[in-house]
Amino acid sequence: MTWNRLGNRWSALAVMALVVGALLAWGFGAFASSRSATAALIDGWATKIAAANGDPNPISVTWVRSNREAANAEIGAEVGASAAAMPVYVLQIHGVFRVNHSEPPPRPGERPQSAQPTTYLWVVANRETGRITDFGTTDSPANLSALGAAETDSL
């Protein structure tokens, strides 16, 4: 009987170890797939935005989670107090873009002015809705790591 009790204890410990191991593996797997889903979302946005702005094959995207006030302070844009705390993704896409920032936009039937190519296109998007709130171009990269843990994905 002593052996059975000890055997039952070992069996119980083995079952607990399997359950804990499965939970840990599932938990870490869920975290990894969540990260992959976010990266895939960002990469998809970056590719579509780049293509719409003249580069169907961008080099990379660097992105970070932030709030709109901090993001716009880093890239040099202004934001109203009501939107300052909005959670956003900040994307910096590296490629060759032809974006026309001239005002006013061309009238129907007129050709848009030719734009000089730029190297970086940045986008601030609402993290909850995906809606683009701010957009611009520059020839030198912003320091997105100043906003948090920036990640760079090759496209």
Tell me how far apart the alpha carbons of residues 145 and 139 are, in angstroms, rounded to a whole number: 18
pLDDT tens, residue by residue, 14-38: 444 444 444 444 443 443 445 578 8
pLDDT tens, residue by residue, 69-104: 888 788 776 666 667 788 999 999 999 987 765 555
User: b/e per residue, 97-130, with b = 16+ CB within 10 A?
Assistant: beeeeeeeeeeeeeeeeeeeebbbbbbbbebeee
pLDDT tens, residue by residue, 108-136: 666 555 567 888 988 899 998 988 888 88
Q: Tell me the pTM.
A: 0.66
Task: Please report the pLDDT score of residue 83 as a whole number.
Answer: 73
Task: Please report the pLDDT score of residue 103 as a whole number.
Answer: 53
Task: Please report the pLDDT score of residue 32 as a whole number.
Answer: 41
Q: Taking the domains of the chain in order of start, what are their residue ranges?
A: 46-154
